[in-house]
Amino acid sequence: MKLIVFSKSFKQDGITELMARAHDWGFDGYDLAVRPGYVVNPDNAAEQLPNLVAAFRKEGLSVPMVTGNFDLLEPTHPTAAPILSAMDKADVRLIKLGYFKFKPADQPDYWAEVDRIRRIFEAWQETSRRYNVKICYHTHSHYCMGLNCAALMHLLQGFDPGCLGAYIDAGHMAVEGEAFDVGLAMVKAYLSIVAVKDVMQLREENGDQGLAKRVWTEAGKGFVDWDLVFAELARVGFAGPVSIHAEYKMPTPEAFLESAKREVAYFRAKRDKALA
């Protein structure tokens, strides 16, 4: 299991800064955001992605995956071909798509939406074979299709696991009330990437009742059982990337960087314990 960090939070960083942070914090590489405004973006990916990956490899760092923009949902999207061809050239083999949203009040037929997305995934399967890049879909809570492993398998079951992959997220699974080991068992054949982020749920008053409020937090301060997560990943022999998201809010940029560095050390210790 390689621990990588999602570069979403480091939009201002160039190649040198990203490499220096990886060495300083002690992680293995990046889940690289290939989005407008980042060091690698859809407009420069053809040249910049292979250059960045080559520079990283010389430093002993890896880029096993990239994350496209939120609207990268279909292979006809104008950024799809430029990014995937650059990934093939750079030998980066995993990409995360955006999210298909679902609200029953707006889309009352859930299974019709499943069928629609599966037709899109059929096209992605052919695109995957063309570029030799696996297309991965992320379990994201709160009105997203595939919000946990059970729902994700409605979309993936029956497709070629060499082309389409499950990108599971322990924090979002916890929010949706899905036991990590049970969800893992569901997606095992498609398991490609794991995201790690911690979360708390607080009661928020709402008239004469309460609502659950999600609060993303530094690892170890929420309610995800990280010993279980890493023990289960080790038990099934998962050898893919574990992407650290660090998507919580802190009062200052400096406080965020200190917290995110602690989080990397926390997850590194949990991984090493599970693999010992």
What residue segments make up the domains of the chain, in order of their start? 2-275
Note the helical H segments in the chain: 15-25, 45-58, 80-90, 110-131, 149-156, 170-175, 180-187, 226-235, 253-275
Q: Quick one: tokens of 160?
A: 């070629």
Task: Say what percent of the chain tops pLDDT 90.
Answer: 98
Say how far apart CA 163 and CA 266 lie, in whole Å: 32
The per-residue pLDDT for range 86-142, each reduced to its tens digit, is: 999 999 999 999 999 999 999 889 999 999 999 999 999 999 999 999 999 999 999
pTM score of the predicted model: 0.95
Q: Label the pairing between strands 2-6 and 191-196.
A: unpaired
Collect all residues with Cβ–Cβ distance below 8 Å to 12 and sequence separation of at least 6: none
The per-residue pLDDT for range 59-102, each reduced to its tens digit, is: 999 999 999 999 999 999 999 999 999 999 999 999 999 999 99
pLDDT classification of 29: cutoffs 50, 70, 90:
very high
Give the per-residue pLDDT at 68.
95
Is there a contact between 224 and 272 (Cβ–Cβ < 8 Å)?
A: no
**SS3 of residue 137 by DSSP:** strand
Kindly state the DSSP code that residue 70 receives in the 8-state scheme: T
Q: Quick one: tokens of 109?
A: 């037929």
Q: Quick one: tokens of 193?
A: 């990437």
Give the per-residue pLDDT at 13.
94
pLDDT classification of 14: cutoffs 50, 70, 90:
very high
Collect all residues with Cβ–Cβ distance below 8 Å to 227 and sequence separation of at least 6: 270, 273, 274
Tell me the average pLDDT across 180-184: 98
Give the per-residue pLDDT at 240.
97
**Domain formed by 2-275, architecture:** Alpha-Beta Barrel (3.20)
